[in-house]
Amino acid sequence: MIGGLFIYNHKGEVLISRVYRDDIGRNAVDAFRVNVIHARQQVRSPVTNIARTSFFHVKRSNIWLAAVTKQNVNAAMVFEFLYKMCDVMTAYFGKISEENIKNNFVLIYELLDEILDFGYPQNSETGALKTFITQQGIKGQTKEEQSQITSQVTGQIGWRREGIKYRRNELFLDVLESVNLLMSPQGQVLSAHVSGRVVMKSYLSGMPECKFGMNDKIVIDKQGKGAASDDAGKSSGKQSIAIDDCTFHQCVRLSKFDSERSISFIPPDGEYELMRYRTTKDIILPFRVIPLVREVGRTKLEVKVVIKSNFKPSLLAQKIEVRIPTPLNTSGVQVICMKGKAKYKASENAIVWKIKRMAGMKESQISAEIELLPTNDKKKWARPPISMNFEVPFAPSGLKVRYLKVFESKLNYSDHDVIKWVRYIGRSGIYETRC
Amino acid sequence: MMCDFLFSLVCTGEIFELKAELNSDKKEKKKEAVKKVIASMTVGKDVSALFPDVVNCMQTDNLELKKLVYLYLMNYAKSQPDMAIMAVNTFVKDCEDPNPLIRALAVRTMGCIRVDKITEYLCEPLRKCLKDEDPYVRKTAAVCVAKLHDINAQLVEDQGFLDTLKDLISDSNPMVVANAVAALSEIAESHPNSNLLDLNPQTINKLLTALNECTEWGQIFILDCLANYTPRDDRESQSICERVTPRLSHANSAVVLSAVKVLMKFMEMLPKDLDYYGTLLKKLAPPLVTLLSAEPELQYVALRNINLIVQRRPEILKHEMKVFFVKYNDPIYVKLEKLDIMIRLASQANIAQVLAELKEYATEVDVDFVRKAVRAIGRCAIKVEQSAERCVSTLLDLIQTKVNYVVQEAIVVIKDIFRKYPNKYESVIATLCENLDSLDEPEARAAMIWIVGEYAERIDNADELLESFLEGFHDESTQVQLQLLTAIVKLFLKKPTETQELVQQVLSLATQDSDNPDLRDRGYIYWRLLSTDPVAAKEVVLAEKPLISEETDLIEPTLLEELICHIGTLASVYHKPPSAFVEGSRGVQHKRLPGSSAAGVSEAPPAVIPSQGDLLGDLLNLDLTPPTTTGPPPPASSGMQMGAMDLLGGGLDSLVGLLNTVLSEAVSLRSSFNVPVSGGLDDLFDLGGGVGMPMGVFNPPKTVWLPAMKAKGLEISGTFVRRAGVIQMEMTLTNKAMSVMTDFAIQFNRNSFGLAPAGPLQVLTPLSPNQSIEAALPLSTVGPVMKMEPLNNLQVAVKNNIDVFYFSCQYPISMLFAEDGKMERQVFLATWKDIPNDNESQFQIKDCHLNSDAASNKLQGSNIFTIAKRTVEGQDMLYQSMKLTNGIWVLAELRVQAGNPNYTVSTVLVVLAVFKSYFSNTNQNE
């Protein structure tokens, strides 16, 4: 299991050092600094073995978090734990920065003591932790409160405490998708997938039982079979989407999903990520990029890029940014674009073209002339792909939320009393077209 | 020195100040002081001098302050063991506190105080806490047992904590169960043979129930523990798999990977024709792909594991090639791993896409990545024959870029392509030669020299090229020197007239002016060969090279099996067994995959003779399935010893079992009397019509091994004979096709007795249509060994100018009886007595019309020697011995009852292995 956990600043100074196991000595702290943080070459692996000691590291802005062990630990678990650790710290004091860590080091030690025992990760749900790691001392608690805390930390529903009350029962559902695309210069889709998340903010009283439904092909087909003659079932079948795979927050009953494909759960209070999913079929690609690069002699390049929006004209895409890479030996660029603003950014070796808004089924174009310095470098320019960023108000995968039902039998509110909000946002992930 | 002195001065000053603050009356000031102490501790300053002052602050009702003091204690107790005792009282008191959080804090901390002296004081509080009413305290106490065990294992056993811990597996709280499992697993790891984690169906059921309810981390502990269990049968295995599969949708990647581990392991037990098996395979792909959308560090862990999974079960991800395409922004470690998997998944179906991608990668910036991409193109060419042409032209394009490292890498892989497809792409040699000057890496230089030497007859200026390398001979690396030596000798053998001077020069450089023994030895060997027997030299140096395998750097099967059992862990990231990087006794146990439940024999071993058109290059790499012997993997020695090792397996038992199989098989084959190729001992006793037959080894007639339909017109029929102590494979090759066949070569897969061709297949003249040719191939028994099913099965690959064909045949066991199988009478008697009863096997042979003497004579011809004869009550008893080529002895008793006109012969065979003689035998062979 994890033998020790260190946090360093960008210079390699130790900010936090907690050792759980005897086999990890003080010299391990230095070994990591010398071999990884101060290493001359770029780090080639997130797992490093130095003198039979293994170091796992992740980096958050310029802070290094490293877990150390001498055993054959579950590597996936160690990384999951490090991410979780970052989440917990962010939930307690915001951004992970050197200053925040220094200011909160007592709290961090207290957290580390709680969520990692002898190197074994323990309950690390912020909701539960915040009930008893408060930096206030817990003198004032009654006996009932104490046992409530412990039963929550160890209980089956470790992510929610009892006795939550709201005057207004409300929930917000965000379907956040990122579309990833790799397209050949000829416009052929080399790979495309959507990775989506359903993020929920719940402000519900008591211990509500929720059921979430979406236009999952498997569910709809099943229902369609149940009511074979029902035309409505068939027409809704057309709008269903095939989900390649999905994963759920630990509140979702996985065995129920496995057997009935229904998503039922008792939600944590506040914001959390209910599920993640991935689709690869019938993706609506919101934009198409058509590049045209022509080399004119050895010192000039002509670039023309057309973007076409491909969705309902009534919808508006926002924050559109097209990034056209330029060779390293570029000396000057002239750009002409019909819409938005375009600039050559020498430090980034790219022409950045920004458009604030663009409606569906439109087209826009940029052309640029790139002057090159003559070089005797034999190596050809690698022509990195043209990448694009945008945000659209629909789910490119076609996912639709069908229902989210809330049942709370003990309290006197019903599904109808809950105010529900649903929002779809599609963003670009890695959206690249080769040129 | 000055600086050090100043620094310590500052420290003492600081410490003095802190001391005062710690002893202050004001609570706030105290707390601030302790915080300062912890801060100095973190930075690595030694604040152990403050021990008594800090411990004094321990008696407080402020939980925050208490935690800080505990943190200090854990750090320094070891260096101040006497002082640590001061803390014991507080711990004992805190363990009685009404607040469960404080009780748990005390039990958690005291386990971390690694001072032997105080451990015994902790036993009582721990015992109480293990039975605490509050689950939070119990789950903390469970881990504390593991801590205490780490300090003083004996104490934990004596105090009976292990039993209490076992009881906690049945606890009502899932988190307590999970922590107890984690603690027990860790303790069990340091006692490999203790039956501590006594996993039986009841406990497994408890674990599976807890799995649905506990935290994500608890699920990981439980799944990792489940992976160590071996289900009793396929039904249990299936039911566990069914209950584990829902975990594949968990958001935590570690839960998913641990579930994959359990499934991959238990799947081994499921019969392949089961519907569920197919469903399970399908269920595994999506979660593995989803892992690739995790954070890059986890992607890396996932990819390293997928690399293993793809090697073990390629079918799972064969349609998922696209997700392994490299993204421009991937960290380099993810890119390199993805590339590896892309090559493994490359097949005829997706090769076009893969090649287009690889070509793209070859123009990237990162040198390592580009090199790997270029190498990958070469590997695709070797793996998918249809793509070879395109790969070669892609490589040529890349060579045109003149980027130094790209060119070098391309040349290295082109060498391999030449070896895989001889006489096909040599037209590109000219282009390669143009780049001769730019090669500065030894591997590329060596590859280029190999090409020049190998195709010397087609390169007009081969001698000039090689001569140019020779100028700086001593500055080259060994690899290049060796290659240059061989290449020039090849050149000389091909063009003897013009290159005499050159060869003399290189031989003298290698033998006289070099300090490298390898180089010198090789030089001398060539020199002697050339001077004594140029024809032999030609045969040796220009010998036919074995085919190269299409899968490179596959992980060795036993290691792969072990690594599959370690999915998700560091071992699977390093691709090394835990013993390679873990110190001490932990993790030294080698884990193995369970076999299929069918008769204890894991899925029919290499029945993997690929079907026609399935272009597997190297038969020796076919055995991806686990060897069936239970023993340790054979050491990398060759010949007899290795063979015997493998056959002996775990020891005597498995050997006897093995021979029993041979003999009982012989019995069962009796019924297929008229099919001599089925070969077995019974053929020896096929004495029925044999009165007039000439003496000698029993030789079955030829049968058709490879029908012409399956081999593009080549028909092979054959048999095995033993002549003058040499086993020979006699074959008739018939050409039923329309074109001439040439360039015959033969190769065997590993087999039970290490049979291997002792020389090349001698088919000297081209085989014209409708012509037949006889070929006799002498065999040796020193090849690599692997148990086959049936035991006498032999898998053969025959190559000609058209293609490579595969067939399997069976040789009669009698081929393997050695001429020196006559045992001394005394030895025979002594060993006969020592035979344990369970080594015996008996069977009867019916319808034999021979008397005992005639039978004895006939058997002697097959190297089954009669040692003694006894007649009891009209029954002749013949005592016989025979010896197998791998040094195993078989003793037999043959009872012949002359009585009724039917001449029934009944035999009793007794099998035993005489280990002493076996060992002396191997020694002689060495």
Residues of B in contact with A22 (CB under 8 A): 114, 150
Question: When comparing pLDDT for B869 and B659, which is higher?
Answer: B869
Q: Is A217 annotated in some ligand binding site? A: no
- Subunit contact B111:A150, Cβ cutoff 8 A: no
| List of chain A residues whose C-beta atoms are within 8 Å of the C-beta of residue B211 | none
Test B296 with A46 for CB contact under 8 angstroms. Answer: yes
pLDDT at B52 over 50: yes
Q: Contact A118/B147, CB-based, under 8 Å?
A: yes
Q: Is this model's pTM higher than 0.80 or not?
A: no
Confidence of residue B595 (pLDDT cuts 50, 70, 90): low
- CA distances (Å), origin B131, targets B89, B126, B812: 21, 9, 68
Which of the two residues, B683 and B52, has the higher pLDDT score? B52
pLDDT at B657 > cutoff 90: no
- The b/e string for A323-362 (b: 16+ C-beta within 10 A; e otherwise) is bbbbbeebeebebebebbebebeeeeebbbbbbeebebee
A345 labelled as ligand-binding? yes
Q: CA of A232 to nearest chain B CA: how many angstroms apart?
A: 30
Q: What is the pLDDT of residue B616?
A: 30
Helix (H, G, I), strand (E, B) or coil at B133: coil
Between A163 and B524, the more confident residue is: B524
Contacts of B39 in chain A (CB under 8 A): 105
d(CA A268, CA B395): 56
Confidence of residue B309 (pLDDT cuts 50, 70, 90): very high
- Per DSSP bridges, beta strands A170-183 and A419-433 are parallel
B327 lies within 8 A of chain A by CB: yes
Q: A147 to chain B: which residues are within 8 Å by CB?
A: 100, 134
* Residues of chain B contacting A14 with CB distance shorter than 8 Å: 42-44
| pLDDT higher than threshold 80 for residue A280 | yes
Residue B510 has pLDDT above 60, yes or no: yes
Long-range contacts of B662-671 (CB under 8 A, 24+ apart): B662/B791, B662/B792, B662/B813, B663/B841, B663/B843, B663/B909, B663/B911, B664/B841, B664/B843, B665/B790, B665/B791, B666/B813, B666/B843, B667/B843, B670/B843, B670/B845, B670/B846
Q: What letters, b where the CB count within 10 A reaches 16 and e where it falls short, cover B1-38?
A: eeeeeeeeeeeeeebeebbebbeeeeeeebbebbbbbb
Strand arrangement, sheet containing B804-810: B745-748, B793-799, B804-810
Average the pLDDT over B501-523 and give the result: 88
> Which residue in the set A49, A52, A80 is minimally distant from B583, CB to CB?
A52
The answer on pLDDT for B651 being more than 70 is no
Query: For residues B512 and B336, which has the higher predicted lDDT (pLDDT)?
Result: B336
Q: How many other CB atoms are there within 10 angstroms of residue A137's CB atom?
A: 14
Strand partners, A401: A214
Whole-number pLDDT of residue B721? 82
| Stretch A60-64: mean pLDDT | 92
Q: What is the mean pLDDT of residues A294-298?
A: 84
Which two structure tokens, joined as six digits, stand for B922?
A: 């191997």
Q: What is the mean pLDDT of residues A368-383?
A: 78
Percent of all residues in chain A with a pLDDT value above 70, rounded to a whole number = 94
pLDDT more than 90, % of chain B = 21
Query: What pLDDT is stored for residue A314 in this prediction?
Result: 93
pLDDT tens-digit series, residues B794-812 = 888 888 887 788 888 888 7
Q: Which residue has the higher pLDDT, B430 or B124?
A: B124
CA atoms within 13 A on the CB side of B666: 23
Task: Provide the pLDDT for residue B847.
Answer: 58
- Do A110 and B297 count as a contact with CB atoms less than 8 A apart? no
Q: Across the A/B interface, how many CB contacts are shorter than 8 Å?
A: 272
Residue numbers in A near B214 (CB within 8 A): 156
What mean pLDDT is reported for chain B? 78
- Are B822 and B867 in contact by the 8 Å Cβ rule? The answer is yes
| Closest CB from A49, A110, A154 relative to B574 | A49
Taking CB atoms and an 8 Å limit, are A47 and B300 in contact across chains? yes
Q: Is B921 helix (H, G, I), strand (E, B) or coil?
A: helix
Q: Report whether A11 belongs to an annotated binding site.
A: no
Segment B600-609, tens digit of pLDDT: 333 333 333 3
- Lowest mean pLDDT: which of A399-413, B242-256, B350-364, B625-639? B625-639
Residues in chain B with CB shorter than 8 Å from the CB of A383 are 363
Cβ atoms of B111 and B74 within 8 Å: the answer is no
DSSP type of residue B172: S
- B393-397, B613-617, B633-637, B727-731: least confidently modelled range: B613-617
Cβ-based contacts of B333 with chain A (< 8 Å) = 44-46
What average pLDDT does this structure show over A384-405? 93
Interface test mutation site (partner B, options A82, A88, A150, A275, max chain B beta carbons within 10 A): A150
3-state secondary structure of B631: coil
Q: What is the pLDDT of residues A146-202, one digit of tens each?
A: 777 777 777 777 788 778 889 899 999 999 999 999 898 888 898 899 999 999 999
Minimum distance, in Å, between the CA of residue A69 and any CA atom of chain B: 10
Which tops the pLDDT comparison, B736 or A234? B736
Give the pLDDT band of residue B642 (cuts 50, 70, 90). Answer: very low
**Of A432, A355, A405, which Cα lies nearest the Cα of A202?**
A405
Question: Is B681's pLDDT higher than 50?
Answer: no
Helices and strands in chain B, H and E counts: 37, 13
pLDDT given for residue B857 in this prediction: 75
Pair B253, A80: CB distance under 8 Å: yes
Q: Which residues of B touch A110 (CB under 8 A)?
A: 64, 67
> Quick one: pLDDT band at residue B788, thresholds 50, 70, 90?
confident
In the DSSP assignment, the letter for residue B680 is: S
- Residues of A with CB below 8 A from B37's CB? none
C-alpha to C-alpha distances, A265 to A250, A404, B408, B538, nearest whole angstrom? 9, 11, 58, 77
What six digits make up the tokens of B231? 């289900």
Position with higher pLDDT, B672 vs B543 = B543
Q: Report the range out of A50-54, B4-8, B636-640, B727-731 with the highest average pLDDT.
A: A50-54
Sequence-ordered list of residues with C-beta below 8 angstroms from that of B274, at least 6 positions apart, any chain? B234, B238
Confidence of residue B611 (pLDDT cuts 50, 70, 90): very low
- For residue A169, give how far its alpha carbon lies from the nearest alpha carbon of chain B (Å): 27
Structure tokens at B742: 């040439």
pLDDT digits (tens, 9 = 90+) for A130-141: 888 876 654 556
pLDDT bucket at B114, cuts 50 / 70 / 90: confident
**Closest Cβ–Cβ partner in B42, B212, B214 for A105:** B42
CA B170 to chain centre: 38
As a whole number, the mean pLDDT across chain A is 88
Query: DSSP states of B749-769 as a string?
Result: --BTT--EESS-----S-B-T
Whether A68 and A4 have beta carbons less than 8 Å apart is answered as: yes
pLDDT of amino acid B701: 76
Please give the pLDDT value at position A209: 92
Beta-carbon separation of B42 and A17 below 8 A: yes
pLDDT at position B821: 78
AA identity, residue B267: M
- Under a CB-based contact definition with an 8 Å cutoff, are residues A248 and B249 in contact? yes
Residue with tokens 């021990």: B51
Give Cβ neighbours of residue B457 (< 8 Å, ≥ 6 apart): B494, B495
- Between CA B508 and CA B490 the distance in angstroms is 16
CB contact under 8 A, B293 and A195: yes
Closest chain B C-alpha to A228 CA, distance in angstroms: 26
Residues 783-842 of B with CB under 8 A from A: none
Q: Does B210 touch chain A (CB under 8 A)?
A: no
Give CA angle at B134 (B133, B136), nearest 5°. 150
Contacts 24+ apart (CB under 8 A), B324-331: B324/B292, B325/A182, B325/A190, B325/A191, B325/B357, B326/B357, B326/B361, B327/A182, B327/A430, B327/A432, B328/A384, B328/A385, B328/A387, B328/A430, B328/A432, B329/A430, B330/B296, B331/B296, B331/B300
User: Using CB atoms, which residue from B144, B217, B251 is nearest to A249?
Assistant: B251
What ipTM describes this predicted complex? 0.82
Q: Where are any strands of DSSP class E within B781-888? A: 793-799, 804-810, 840-845, 865-872, 875-883
What is the predicted pLDDT for the residue at B425?
84
pLDDT at position B7 is 40
- Please check if A354 is assigned to a binding site: yes
Rounded percentage of chain B residues whose pLDDT exceeds 70:
80
Give A-chain residues touching B142 at CB under 8 angstroms.
none
Does A143 carry a binding-site annotation? no
Q: What is the 3-state secondary structure (H, E, C) of B373-417?
A: HHHHHHHHHHHCHHHHHHHHHHHHHHHHCCCHHHHHHHHHHHHHH
Q: Residue B836 — very low, low, confident or very high, per pLDDT cuts 50/70/90? A: low
Q: How confident is the model at residue B243 (pLDDT cuts 50, 70, 90)?
A: very high
Q: A182: number of CA atoms within 13 Å, CB side?
A: 14
Other Cβ atoms within 10 Å of B117 Cβ, number: 11
Strands A287-296, A350-359: pairing is: unpaired
Nearest residue on chain B to A29, judged by CA atoms? B44
Point out the residue among A248, A380, A383 whose CB comes nearest to the CB of B401: A380
Q: Per residue, what are the HEC states of chain A?
A: CCCEEEEECCCCCEEEEEECCCCCCCHHHHHHHHHHHCCCCCCCCCEEEECCEEEEEEEECCEEEEEEECCCCEHHHHHHHHHHHHHHHHHHHCCCCHHHHHHCHHHHHHHHHHHEECCEECCCCHHHHHHHCCCCCCCCCCHHHHHHHHHHHHCCCCCCCCCCCCCCCEEEEEEEEEEEEEECCCCCEEEEEEEEEEEEEEECCCCCEEEEEECEHHHHHHHHHHCCCCHHHHHHHHCCECCCEEEECCCECHHHHHHHCCEEECCCCEEEEEEEEEECCCCCCCEEEEEEEEEECCCEEEEEEEEEECCCCCCEEEEEEEEEECCCCEEEEEEEECCCEEEEEHHHCEEEEEEEEEECCCEEEEEEEEEECCCCCCCCCCCCCEEEEEEECCCCCCCCEEEEEEECCCCCCCHHHCEEEEEEEEEEEEEEECC
Using a CB–CB cutoff of 8 Å, tell me whether B605 touches chain A: no
Judged by CB atoms closer than 8 Å, whether chains meet at A380 and B363 is answered as: yes
Q: Are B142 and B179 in contact (CB under 8 A)?
A: yes
Q: Give the closest of A26, A49, A79 to B298, CB-based.
A: A79
For range B537-554, the mean pLDDT: 78
Q: What pLDDT does B654 receive? A: 39
Cβ contacts of B305 within 8 Å, gap of 6 or more: B257, B260, B567, B568, B572, B573
